[in-house]
Amino acid sequence: MKQIVVISGKGGTGKTVLTASFAALAKNKIMVDCDVDAADLHLLLQPEIKERYDFRSGKTAWIDRDLCQECGQCIDVCRFDAIRDDFTVDPISCEGCTICSYICPEAAIKLEENLSGEWFISDTKYGPFVHAKLGIAEENSGKLVSKVKEAAKEIAEKENLDYVIIDGPPGIGCPVIASLASIDLALIVTEPTLSGIHDMERVAEVSKHFKIPTKVVINKFDINPGNSEDIKKICQEEDIEVMAQLPFSQKVTESIVQGVPLIEFCKDRIAEDISLLWERIK
């Protein structure tokens, strides 16, 4: 079994469009959406949800006003400024460290487990799909990423699947690091803009830091061919293979509007290039 994650550093470079096309091209696989706080892959895979699970993670403090003597010790000890002057807790700021509950001399502070989101196992016409929805303004997206990855891996092992195809989150922080754990290939999709290059270099450093085999795809390479050449040079210096360069195409937006993987939407050059890319990955 091979686990492949598509990441980018910068958002909006084409991760989800590429992942959905791989979903349509690969055989014997499971898909995962690890962009848990702005998940989009379901809009292309049109899943039918089969199983739903609550994601509980972390805690939030609340103060029992009947017991509280307003001594203010909790306010002093909270490093996240989560306790207001009127001795109520701002649940958005509270990081659930629980320290206030140890300090309170009246034992007035309780901690409640958060329902931080939901995750799903679904069927799609392309195969099984594990995805999630992080609650609004919730934390612990990294843990939810680990959860969906774990669930997908279990299914892949049980059903003897060959590929776990993962749509990764943008950035380089906690959800990205969680999605890189025990991955066989990190495919970075970048674009020939200064931002795209800058962000690719940062996320490539992260995957290198965790010793994950890493390759690059340049999307919309023809928007700025000079920058695309620069990307190739950078990758050569870093010993990272550039696996493909995909042209800009209006069809990408059209396929998103139709809600189908690009590869099924058109037979243009970009579709051919993506098929060839998948042949090389697998």
Partner 1 sequence: MIISVASGKGGTGKTTVAVNLALSLNNIQFLDCDVEEPNAHLFLKPDIKDRRIATVPIPDVDESKCNYCGKCRDICAYNAIVVISPDDVVKGGSVLIFTNLCHACGGCSLLCPQFAIREVNKEIGLIEAGNCGDIEFVHGRLNIGEIMSPPLIRQVKEYIDSNRTVIIDAPPGTSCPVIASIKGSDFCILVTEPTPFGLNDLILAVEVVKKLSIPFGIILNRADIGDDGVDLYCKENNIPILMRIPFDREIAQLYSAGIPLIKEKKEYINKFNGLFELIKNQRVIS
227's contact among ligand SF4, partner 1, none, with CB below 5 to 8 A by partner kind, is partner 1
Q: Which residue has the tokens 């051919």?
A: 272
Rule CB under 8 A: choose which of 1, 68, 71, 99 binds partner 1: 99
Structure tokens at 126: 């392309």
Residue of 27, 38, 48, 72 that binds partner 1 (CB under 8 A): 38
* For partner 1, the closer CB: 76 or 159: 76
Binding to partner 1 (CB under 8 A) within 148-207 occurs at 169-177, 191-196, 198-199, 202-203, 205-206
Q: What is the DSSP string of the chain?
A: -EEEEEE-SSTTSSHHHHHHHHHHH-SSEEEEE--TTS--THHHH--EEEEEEEEEEEEEEEE-TTT-----HHHHH-TT--B-TTS-B-TTT-----HHHHH-TT--EEEEEEEEEEEEEEEETTEEEEEEEEPTT---HHHHHHHHHHHHHHHHHHTT-SEEEEEPPSSSSHHHHHHHTT-SEEEEEE-SSHHHHHHHHHHHHHHHHTT--EEEEESSGGG-HHHHHHHHHHHHHHT-EEEEEPPP-THHHHHHHHTS-HHHH--SHHHHHHHHHHHHH-
- Does 142 participate in binding partner 1 (rule CB under 8 A)? yes
Q: Which among partner 1, ligand SF4, none contacts residue 10 (Cβ within 5 to 8 A by kind)?
A: partner 1
Binding region for partner 1 (CB under 8 A) out of 10-18, 123-131, 236-244, 274-282 = 10-18
Torsion region of 140: left, alpha or beta (phi above 0 gives left; psi -120 to 50 gives alpha): left
Position 95 contacts partner 1 (CB under 8 A): yes
The nearer residue to ligand SF4, 99 or 174, going by C-beta atoms, is 99
Write down the least CB distance from residue 201 to partner 1, Å.
Answer: 10
Q: What residues contact 163, with CB distance under 8 A and at least 6 apart?
A: 1, 2, 3, 4, 26, 28, 29, 30, 156, 282
Of 5-13, 47-55, 63-71, 234-242: span binding partner 1 (CB under 8 A): 5-13
Partner from partner 1, ligand SF4, none binding residue 185, C-beta < 5-8 Å depending on class: none
What gap in Å lies between CA 282 and CA 270, rounded to an integer?
A: 18
72 binds partner 1 (CB under 8 A): no
Considering only 85, 86, 136, 158, the residue that binds partner 1 (CB under 8 A) is 136
37 counts as binding partner 1 under rule CB under 8 A: yes
Q: Which is nearer to ligand SF4, 96 or 175 (CB)?
A: 96
118 sits near partner 1 (criterion: CB under 8 A): no
Comparison of 81 and 157: residue with beta carbon closer to ligand SF4: 81
Query: Rule CB under 8 A: which residues touch partner 1?
Result: 8-13, 16, 37-40, 43, 58-59, 77, 79-80, 92-93, 95-99, 102-103, 134, 136-139, 141-142, 169-177, 191-196, 198-199, 202-203, 205-206, 209-210, 223-224, 227, 250, 253, 256-257, 259
